[in-house]
Copies of this chain bind each other. A is one copy, B any other.
Amino acid sequence: MTAKIARFLEEVRPVTPCVVVDLDVVRDNYLGLRRWLPLADVYYAVKANPAPEIVRMLTALGSNFDVASRGEIDLCLSSGVSAENISFGNTIKKQRDIAYAYEKGVRLYAFDCEAELEKLAEAAPGSRVFCRILMTCDGAEWPLSRKFGCEIDMARDLLVRARDLGLDPYGVSFHVGSQQTDLSQWDIAVGKAAMLFTALDAVGVELRMVNLGGGFPARYRSDIPAVERYADAVMSAMTNHFGNNIPAMIIEPGRSLVGDAGILETEVVLISRKGYDEDVRWVYLDVGKFGGLAETMDEAIKYRILTTRDGDDTAPVVLAGPTCDSADILYEKSNYEMPVSLKVGDKVRILSTGAYTTSYSAVNFNGFDPLKAYFI
């Protein structure tokens, strides 16, 4: 909670719910990452918070951009980003969207299967491509499932095929899972990448880049290792597996740049009990799972929450959103407590909500407007 955000909320008193993002925090996070991982090129994962204000600031600071769609390419280009600083990092792309990106000058693409490679060869000839490999992602709060990436032996064959199709087999990417707190996962992943470098070298394909993905965390309810420790883990893994022949490195931070920069202000709409024998209060906020807090799905991300009555005695609560959807419950099993003195109409602040909130918000579910955001 920065003084700048506190002052803004005090002076402007915006209608709730809304997110306020302190751009100074984003800048400091970016500069911190650059300082601790100077060898890595930063590609900001635009999906984390696609605000033009953030993209404009980061491009001025020298950042590159990882985009998921044609829409995000347009956003970057119209915010002053050069096409050569864009990576089309989604492994799932329509061929006409690849053609669009190529026509705009984008020359760096992700893939994880043969069909995607064929689209790239046709619509983005000669481009640098990197193959995403599967990771198991133990330890991540928002685990990545098996949706992206392929097994390592398939990756080897695909990178050879990329060359044969006239593409430039540039490197390997992986993702250790968003909000990853087990630092040893980087060593395992980089080890796999290094094995691929060796295997490809043996057949005359020289890979030159390792894309370490995202996974650096924002600070939610649990304390997390600082960015320095992450940087150390990454660099140890790189030197461990590549010696003094370290390839180009890309990181794709999203959450770790913008998460902590945002505060969501919300209002208590209702407090109730379900029966006379029930100890737990239900606290209903004017924001919920469909209004921007989608990452509370399965109570995965546990936000820190402040009230104006902190310090008073607390008791257990279930936290829920304002819609008529019974699935719109934020926390029922995560043992949240709130002050006994909490009242209907109180303002509540949800911390570290700068990432994956505004753009997740439903367009008009239950007749509620999408989540508003301010960038200061």
Q: Is A89 at the interface (CB under 8 A from chain B)?
A: yes
- How far is the CB of A184 from the nearest CB of chain B, in Å? 20
Q: Which residue of B lies closest to A46 (CB)?
A: B367
A113-B273, A134-B274, A153-B275 as given contacts; A366 in contact with B47, CB under 8 Å? yes
- How far is the CB of A343 from the nearest CB of chain B, in Å? 9
Residues of B within 8 A of A116 (CB): 270, 272
Q: Is A53 at the interface (CB under 8 A from chain B)?
A: no
- How far is the CB of A93 from the nearest CB of chain B, in Å? 7
* Count, chain A residues at interface, CB 8 A: 82
Q: Is A253 at the interface (CB under 8 A from chain B)?
A: no
Provide the A271-285 mask, 1 if CB < 8 A to any CB of B, else 0.
111111110001010
Instruction: Please indicate which of the listed interface residues A90, A145, A273, A326 has the most CB atoms of chain B within 10 Å of its own CB.
Output: A326
Q: Which stretch of A29-37, A217-225, A241-249, A356-364 is in the interface?
A: A356-364
Residues of B within 8 A of A297 (CB): 297, 327
Residues of B within 8 A of A119 (CB): 344
Q: Is A374 at the interface (CB under 8 A from chain B)?
A: no
How far, in angstroms, from A274 to B147 measured CA to CA in the complex?
A: 9
How far, in angstroms, from A156 to B74 measured CA to CA in the complex?
A: 58
Residues of B within 8 A of A294 (CB): 290, 362
How far, in angstroms, from A90 to B95 measured CA to CA in the complex?
A: 44
Q: A72-B366, A92-B320 are in contact. List 5 more A-B contacts (CB 8 A).
A: A68-B324, A72-B367, A93-B269, A115-B344, A361-B362
Closest 7 A/B residue pairs (Cβ): A71-B367, A151-B275, A113-B272, A72-B367, A69-B367, A144-B326, A68-B366
